[in-house]
Amino acid sequence: MIPLPTIRASNARLRTLPPRAVSIFAPNHERGVYPDDLSLRTHHSVLNHLSHAVFMTTFSFLHIAAQNPSLSCLHIHPGFVKMPEFEHARFSLLVKWLFHWVVLPLLKPFLLGLKESGERNLFMAMRARFRGKEGGEGEAGTMVPVVEEGVATRVATGVNGLIGGGVYAWGAKGLGDKVWEHTMKAFETIERGDVFVD
């Protein structure tokens, strides 16, 4: 992964490649957002934190893509992937045993391996269907063509309602700016060494 400022300052060959920002997380797992409680001080729960992290990722992508029209931002769900982290996490031996000998065998038919999940996500990230707002035909040489099973497919509609809008996930009017300001305020407060309280 090459940071966007590096691409801008790089040689002409690297600048011809279409820039991509990919978040492999949990789109479509949104439960709702609390615009007046973005830090979830009064709506604290694991599922609310997951939901807000998903929304904030998407809204951050909207802000970044608006400033960088050639950038394509994808928020991708990796699928149901068997990861070794659970077995190495700090769970009790009973929980680990139950997961390994009861839960995992039941889920096995639905699980993807790490390699297959990675291949699927790389394929999604390299599709011309999900191009940047200003991505033109010049991307054709470096992108997977916009064709599925021999049938030409149109470029996807972004969250802003435009074909090839640059951000492909869920969006809501006006809330993205509020989320961006909240996040930047939190970063600035933490950089000063203060505790963020909103």
Rounded average pLDDT per 10-residue block, the chain, 198 residues: 61 63 78 83 88 84 81 80 73 86 87 85 76 55 42 60 59 64 90 88
The answer to whether the beta carbons of residues 19 and 7 sit under 8 Å apart is yes
Q: What does the CA dihedral 94, 95, 101, 105 come to, rounded to 10 degrees? A: 170
CA-to-CA distance for 42 and 184, rounded, in angstroms? 21
Within 10 angstroms of residue 176's Cβ, the number of other Cβ atoms is 22
> What's the pLDDT score for residue 92?
85
> What's the pLDDT score for residue 191?
92
Q: Where are the beta strands (DSSP E) in 111-155?
A: 147-148, 151-152
> What's the pLDDT score for residue 159?
61
> What's the pLDDT score for residue 164?
66
